[in-house]
């Protein structure tokens, strides 16, 4: 817990409204905010969204017209639509959004299907297509997947099914032969914001479909009340943050609008129940609560059991049934944590056995153990990446079929990367240079998934480390913290902490403000086995602080009199009392 701290450069702030405190203007400017308009998080400022009738939008998502035509015909003909989702929070929110939106538009012949990761793997596979066909599907609509599912789409076309792909992942060299594709990252798509999550893509499609149906007099002719698609923004906000996509200006609008609806009590029972079971304050919910409290509970269903349970929680018709499902998801999440902690400890033991030290780390980490849980490898990869600041892939056995020769068995890996290394591009390079080594792969810059044969693990491990070493610069491998500098004493207040909260939403590539300073250490004690509770002093003022997951071998440190902290300013709520608290990210003896 002693990373190098680098302070952000001071920026010019004259272009931002002087009604905003200078310290917050400085924070905005350092995160690339170039105009006051970027701070106006209104739906009308969304990119590629023209709300004016009969006017073409030059920045609309490619494929929207074809997709709307397909869905319009499907609604008129009562086509059996099956939505094929993904087994993470983005996939769950995308599926729930499509289900609710189609229902609100008069569709009564639609359902959803989510691949079980332990049986079928990711996306629209030929096996999933066969299952959907047996369930009577006439049209398949993918959400948060499909752009790399060439074989699955081919199988669907063989069976005479229509296919609409909605996705946000990067496409490969070959696109699936779907009837329509909506993906901001496909070649030729003019949509400016390439960081939409899968649920964001689904939201844009449903907005466009409503406009398309309105122009066709669909709602009037069927006496259907035109739906308010903005009611789905709570799902969009949750899925966007949980998928850790970049919070560019467009995504910040989507997240902010969703947060405002939730805080105002305008949210579905499933999300309300998840907030309750996570013990969060609905009126004071912040974006990070999606990523650290609600999202993991939904993800737990897909990691350990069946994501359908998470989707059904989001679709729950009333609070009573939602609470039952949210409680079950909470139990699954606790089980996930236990499995994850055990796997992480084993992974670190394996890593030590390879005789690596902090001073002698590989360029990239790839680990495999046969009994690791496939549903948790992504989290463990993320934890190792954070601890060692290296791109990391963790593999687990892909099947429990013992009839397959061990060496021939498929193993599945989940990858997490660091800034400076595009992990999907690296996998694509390995695949092009060593055909048939990687059985399949997909993903984006910071996260990806792949499958290889167990017998090829050591070869892949070597290639992964070597290529990462060629692509990464020395400075990319240095772990550091970007600080917004020292916070003036008159800003170490509850009022300023609340102003920072309201200045969000904060998230990926638009990070929550982090400050650093030296304090006198007044008190220190361990709570909850591995967290350090602090009292520190600055210029006679005493502040509470907490450092989570501290190195208990180093702290408490009775010799330390002064400490240098990198911290976030937070509001602690306890028994109705609200106080300012320092959330410590890094701590060293000063």
pLDDT digits (tens, 9 = 90+) for 414-451: 999 999 999 999 999 999 999 999 998 888 888 889 99
CA distance readout (Å), 257 to 33, 208, 218, 238, 298: 19, 18, 28, 11, 21
pLDDT of 349: 86
Please give the full DSSP string across 131-197, using - where no structure is assigned: HHHHTT-SEEEEES--TT-HHHHHHHHHTT-EEEEE--SPP-SS----SEEE-TTSTT---S-TT--
Q: Answer whether residue 382 shows pLDDT above 80.
A: yes
Q: Which fold has domain 57-329?
A: inorganic pyrophosphatase (n-terminal core) (3.90.1640)
As a whole number of angstroms, the distance between CA 583 and CA 577 comes to 18
Q: What is the mean pLDDT of residues 343-370?
A: 84
- The closest alpha carbon to 439, from 430, 468, 147, 128, belongs to 430
Q: What is the pTM of this model?
A: 0.90
Question: Is-contact 48 36, C-beta < 8 A?
Answer: no
Q: Answer whether residue 363 shows pLDDT above 50.
A: yes
Where along the chain do its domains lie?
4-30+484-589, 57-329, 354-480
> Average pLDDT over the chain, rounded to whole?
92
Burial class (CB in 10 A: 0-12, 13-18, 19+), 405: exposed
Burial class (CB in 10 A: 0-12, 13-18, 19+), 575: exposed
Cis preceding-peptide flag for 556 (omega within 30 of 0)? yes
CA distance readout (Å), 373 to 328, 347, 377: 20, 12, 7
Question: Is-contact 29 10, C-beta < 8 A?
Answer: no
| Number of other residues whose CB lies within 10 A of the CB of residue 223 | 7
As a whole number of angstroms, the distance between CA 420 and CA 117 comes to 30
| Residue 206 Cα to chain centre, angstroms | 21
CA distance readout (Å), 413 to 17, 297, 374, 405, 472: 47, 22, 8, 19, 21
Q: What is the mean pLDDT of residues 300-309?
A: 88
Question: Is-contact 250 195, C-beta < 8 A?
Answer: yes
pLDDT digits (tens, 9 = 90+) for 105-156: 999 999 999 987 667 777 899 999 999 999 999 999 999 999 999 999 999 9
Strand locations in 487-561, DSSP E?
515-527, 531-538, 541-547
DSSP letter for 35, please.
Answer: S
Going by their DSSP bridges, the two strands 438-443 and 447-453 should be labelled as: antiparallel
The share of the chain scoring above pLDDT 90, in percent, equals 79
Strand locations in 263-344, DSSP E?
none
As a whole number of angstroms, the distance between CA 540 and CA 350 comes to 47
CATH 2.10.240.10 fits 354-480, yes or no: no
Q: Which fold has domain 4-30+484-589?
A: OB fold (Dihydrolipoamide Acetyltransferase, E2P) (2.40.50)
Q: Please report how many Cα atoms fall inside a 13 Å half-sphere around the Cα of residue 405, on the Cβ side.
A: 4
402: β partners: none
pLDDT digits (tens, 9 = 90+) for 220-267: 999 999 999 999 999 999 999 999 899 999 999 999 999 999 999 999
Question: Is-contact 381 391, C-beta < 8 A?
Answer: no
- The closest alpha carbon to 275, from 241, 308, 322, belongs to 322
What are the φ and ψ backbone dihedral angles of 106, each rounded to 5 degrees?
95, 5
pLDDT digits (tens, 9 = 90+) for 181-229: 999 999 999 999 999 999 999 999 999 999 999 999 999 999 999 999 9
3-state secondary structure 463-504: HHHHHHHHHCCHHHHCCEEEECCCCCHHHCCHHHHHHHHHCC
DSSP letter for 392, please.
Answer: E
As a whole number of angstroms, the distance between CA 288 and CA 245 comes to 13
Question: Is-contact 450 378, C-beta < 8 A?
Answer: no
Question: Is-contact 314 268, C-beta < 8 A?
Answer: yes
R_g (Cα) of the chain, nearest Å: 25
Q: Answer whether residue 53 shows pLDDT above 70.
A: no
pLDDT of 484: 97
- Percent of the chain as helix, strand, coil, to the nearest 5: 40, 20, 40
pLDDT of 401: 63
């Amino acid at each position: 817990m002693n990373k190098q701290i680098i302070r952000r450069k001071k920026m010019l702030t004259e272009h931002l409204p002087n009604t905003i405190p200078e310290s917050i203007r400085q924070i905005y400017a350092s995160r690339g905010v170039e105009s006051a308009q970027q701070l106006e998080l209104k739906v009308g400022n969304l990119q590629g969204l023209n709300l004016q009738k009969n006017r073409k939008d030059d920045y609309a998502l490619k494929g929207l017209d074809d997709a709307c035509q397909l869905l319009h015909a499907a609604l008129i003909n009562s086509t059996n639509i099956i939505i094929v989702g993904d087994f993470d929070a983005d996939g769950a929110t995308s599926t729930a959004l499509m289900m609710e939106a189609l229902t609100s538009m008069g569709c009564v012949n639609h359902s959803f299907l989510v691949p079980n990761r332990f049986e079928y793997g990711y996306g629209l596979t030929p096996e999933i297509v066969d299952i959907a066909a047996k369930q009577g599907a006439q049209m398949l609509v993918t959400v948060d997947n499909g752009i790399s599912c060439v074989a699955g789409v081919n199988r669907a076309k063989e069976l005479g099914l229509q296919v609409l792909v909605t996705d946000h992942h990067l496409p490969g060299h070959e696109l699936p032969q779907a009837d329509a594709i909506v993906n901001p990252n496909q070649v030729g798509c003019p949509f400016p914001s390439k960081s939409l999550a899968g649920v964001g893509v689904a939201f844009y499609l449903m907005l466009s479909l409503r406009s398309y149906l309105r122009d066709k007099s669909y709602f009037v002719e069927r006496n259907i009340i035109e739906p308010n698609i903005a009611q789905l923004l709570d799902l969009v906000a949750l899925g966007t943050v949980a998928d850790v996509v970049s919070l560019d200006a467009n995504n910040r609008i989507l997240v902010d609008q969703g947060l405002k609806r939730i805080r105002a009590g305008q949210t579905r029972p499933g999300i309300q129940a998840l907030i309750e079971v996570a013990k969060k304050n609905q009126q004071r919910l912040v974006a990070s609560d999606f990523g650290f409290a609600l999202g993991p509970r939904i993800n737990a269903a897909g990691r350990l059991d069946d994501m359908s349970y998470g989707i059904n929680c989001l679709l729950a018709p009333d609070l009573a049934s939602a609470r039952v499902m949210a409680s079950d998801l909470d139990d699954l999440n606790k089980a996930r944590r236990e499995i994850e902690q055990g796997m992480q400890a084993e992974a670190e033991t394996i890593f030590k056995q390879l005789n690596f030290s902090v001073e002698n780390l590989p360029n990239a980490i790839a680990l495999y153990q046969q009994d690791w849980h496939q549903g948790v490898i992504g989290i463990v990869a993320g934890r190792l990446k954070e601890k060692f600041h290296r791109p990391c892939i963790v593999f687990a056995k892909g099947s429990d079929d013992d009839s397959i020769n061990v060496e021939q068995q498929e193993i599945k890996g989940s990858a997490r990367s660091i800034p400076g290394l595009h992990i999907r591009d690296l996998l694509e390079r390995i695949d092009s240079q060593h055909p048939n080594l990687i059985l399949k792969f997909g993903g984006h810059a910071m996260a990806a998934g792949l499958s290889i044969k167990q017998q090829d693990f050591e070869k892949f491990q070597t290639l992964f480390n070597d290529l990462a070493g060629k692509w990464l610069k020395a400075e990319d491998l240095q772990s550091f913290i970007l600080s917004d500098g020292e916070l003036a004493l008159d800003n170490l207040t509850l009022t300023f902490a609340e102003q920072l909260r309201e200045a969000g939403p904060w998230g990926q590539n638009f990070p929550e403000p982090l400050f650093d300073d030296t304090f006198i250490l007044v008190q220190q004690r361990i709570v909850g086995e591995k967290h350090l509770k602090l009292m520190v002093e600055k210029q006679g003022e005493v502040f509470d602080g907490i450092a989570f997951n501290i190195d208990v071998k180093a702290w408490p440190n009775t010799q330390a009199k002064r400490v240098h902290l990198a911290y976030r300013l937070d509001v602690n709520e306890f028994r109705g009392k609200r106080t300012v608290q320092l959330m410590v990210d890094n701590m060293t003896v000063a």
